[in-house]
Amino acid sequence: MAYIRKSNTVVARVLALCIPLLCLGACGRATRVKLTATVEAHGVLYKGTVVNSFTCGRGGLIFGDNPGCKVWGDAMVIPLGPDGYAFMTLSYPSNPVGIIPDSVAYGDLGESPTSWDPDISLGHAPRLVRFRDINDPKSIEQINPLAPDSTPGFTFKSLHAEITREPITFGVAPRYLPWFKGAQESKWGDLEGDKGSRSAVDTLTNTLGLSDFERQ
């Protein structure tokens, strides 16, 4: 018994030393960010909001060779009146660190909720999508702010961000997607229903998965 207790003590000390080394100062901290998007649908402006958590770090084993952020929470749901819903996904065109400045991402501003220039360049915005048929995940299309003519009648107008202490949004987006629960149970890898790794084919249904709508 004494040997077991001693072994447990040694293991605890090793973990206490190794966990900080794994982070190497890169574990960062979680910052809750409230995002508000404005979408125009056939001449009418609609808004949606969501609270996501951004955990940012400067390299190391968790974040790789470069600074970056991991995003947690739900996709934003934006009601579009008679045109159904748009979803601002958790799929970013590049590292989502572009949403919040370094001073916020890496904790330089302390713990208090703090504002900065809140208007985010749409080049940094995550993918905004809608479904022509909400019951069919393969009917997805992107409302691309850099190619507004690709979805006539729909325009991604603006994205606003602010630090908040509000709860992270969980469990909302899946309620608007009738196929989501069944896809979870079937362990889809992407919106095509593939169960393996995502295909390299550059289509929305092959590159977006369930984790782009809900990430816990």
Give the model confidence (pLDDT) of 6-54 as tens digits: 444 444 443 344 434 344 444 556 889 999 999 999 999 999 999 999 8
- With bands split at pLDDT 50, 70 and 90, how would you rate the model's confidence at 141? very high
User: Are 84 and 46 in contact, with CB atoms under 8 Å apart?
Assistant: no
Is 30 inside any structural domain? yes
pLDDT of residue 154: 95
Q: Is the pLDDT of residue 136 over 70?
A: yes
Is 117 inside any structural domain? yes
Q: Is the pLDDT of residue 112 over 60?
A: no
pLDDT of residue 160: 92
Which stretch, 59-68, 91-100, 152-161, 188-197, has highest mean pLDDT? 152-161
pLDDT of residue 26: 46
Which stretch, 115-119, 154-158, 186-190, has highest mean pLDDT? 154-158
Is 155 inside any structural domain? yes
Is 89 inside any structural domain? yes
Is 121 inside any structural domain? yes
pLDDT digits (tens, 9 = 90+) for 58-105: 655 444 445 567 889 999 999 999 999 999 999 887 666 567 766 666
Mean pLDDT of 163-177: 94
CA distance 70 to 31: 10
Overall pTM > 0.85: no
Is 13 inside any structural domain? no
Q: CB neighbours of 41 closer than 8 A, spacing ≥ 6?
A: 80, 81, 83, 86, 153, 154
Is 33 inside any structural domain? yes
**Counted domains in the chain:** 1
- Nearest one of 65, 57, 120, 56 to 93, comparing CA atoms: 120
Mean pLDDT of 129-155: 91
Is 213 inside any structural domain? no
Residue 155: domain span: 25-169
